[in-house]
Amino acid sequence: MFDLIGQDEAQTRRLNGLRLGMSDREALEAAGSPERRETRTTDSGQRRETWVYNGQLSILGTLTFEDGRLVQVQTN
Per-residue confidence in pLDDT tens, the chain, 76 aa: 446 567 888 999 999 999 999 999 999 999 999 999 999 998 999 899 999 999 887 899 999 999 999 999 999 8
CATH of the domain at 11: 3.30.1450.10
Structural domain harbouring 62:
2-75
Domains contained in the chain, number:
1
Euclidean distance between CA atoms 36 and 34, whole angstroms: 5
Q: Enter the pTM of the model.
A: 0.85
Euclidean distance between CA atoms 72 and 61, whole angstroms: 10
Q: Are 49 and 65 in contact (CB under 8 A)?
A: yes
**1, amino acid identity:** M
